[in-house]
């Protein structure tokens, strides 16, 4: 169970001069009620406070909601997409238990420079945490290794890049980044895992597209979908994504 830690209301932390995030916090809201609130996190924004004192979604979201927020899950700072917070420790605990039970459904969209050899596959690797806030794929015999599994599907291509849909089976640190790097299809901008150059804003082209969970009070299934980032490289795939089956 996720520890019931939250953030108490205070003025939002200003972004540094080098940081610019599109729109206002209210524009990022995907869902809210008296139990939960979800945002479409901009790439480059931390989810929770860090040692650098960076702008973070937990603090900005609490100031917007005028309510304590409790983290349920995380996204890496360079990644965009759905992030869900509890407004009560009980809501945080309920959804956190669903993550642990693997009844949460999460879909990611990934832009890569090299199209994978197979258009659809299940990837299984063994991953351990490495130096420099990273993970590495290692041999199964490594005692520190944890099994990592994901499923991907090729969706289409733009002039230069390729779009994949990814569903996680396990949830390891930097799992998608490390596994795609291991098959020679690193995420666009992800120099840490093998892409040839970074994006100017230090983001990577991975987007947490959908998140489905059972509501902690009603029990009904809630499916959230985060609109694509506004950058041209993402907007080039709009027609392809619009043709995906509608989420219930």
- pLDDT tens-digit series, residues 22-32: 889 999 999 99
Q: What per-residue confidence (pLDDT) applies to 9?
A: 46
Q: What per-residue confidence (pLDDT) applies to 243?
A: 84
pTM over 0.95: no
As a CATH number, domain 1-101 is 3.30.2350.10
> Is 105-248 in the same CATH topology as 1-101?
yes
The CATH superfamily label for domain 105-248 reads Pseudouridine synthase (3.30.2350.10)
| Rounded Cα gap, residues 208 and 190, in angstroms | 16
As given in the structure block, the two tokens for residue 213 are 């969970």
Cβ density class 181-193: b for 16+ within 10 Å, e for less:
bbbebbbbbbebb
Which portions of the chain are predicted below pLDDT 70? 1-19, 246-248
Degrees (nearest 5) of the Cα angle 212, 239, 166?
40
Q: Which of 5, 134, 98 is nearest to 58 (CA)?
A: 5
| Rounded Cα gap, residues 171 and 99, in angstroms | 9
* Domain parsing of the chain, residue ranges: 1-101, 105-248
Contact between 35 and 217 under an 8 Å Cβ cutoff? The reply is yes
């Amino acid at each position: 169970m996720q520890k019931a830690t939250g953030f108490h209301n205070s003025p939002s932390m200003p972004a540094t001069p080098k940081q610019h995030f599109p729109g206002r916090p209210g524009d990022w809201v995907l869902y809210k009620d008296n139990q939960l609130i979800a945002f479409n996190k901009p790439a480059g924004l931390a989810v929770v406070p860090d040692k650098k004192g960076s702008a973070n979604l937990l603090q900005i979201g609490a100031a917007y909601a005028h309510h304590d927020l409790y983290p349920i899950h995380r996204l890496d700072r360079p990644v965009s997409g759905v992030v869900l917070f509890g407004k009560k420790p009980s809501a945080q605990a309920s959804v956190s238990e669903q993550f642990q039970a693997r009844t949460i459904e999460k879909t990611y969209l990934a832009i890569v420079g090299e199209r994978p050899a197979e258009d659809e596959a299940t990837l299984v690797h063994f991953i351990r945490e490495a130096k420099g806030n990273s993970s590495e794929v290692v041999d199964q015999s490594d005692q520190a290794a944890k099994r990592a599994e994901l499923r991907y599907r090729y969706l289409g291509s733009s002039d230069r890049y390729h779009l994949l849909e990814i569903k996680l089976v396990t949830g390891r640190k930097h799992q998608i980044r490390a596994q795609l790097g291991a098959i020679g299809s690193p995420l666009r901008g992800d120099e840490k895992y093998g892409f040839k150059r970074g994006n100017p804003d230090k983001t990577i082209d991975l987007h947490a597209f959908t998140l489905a969970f059972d509501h902690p009070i009603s029990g009904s299934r809630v499916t959230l979908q985060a609109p694509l980032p506004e950058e041209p490289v993402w907007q080039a795939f709009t027609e392809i994504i619009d043709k995906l089956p509608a989420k219930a």
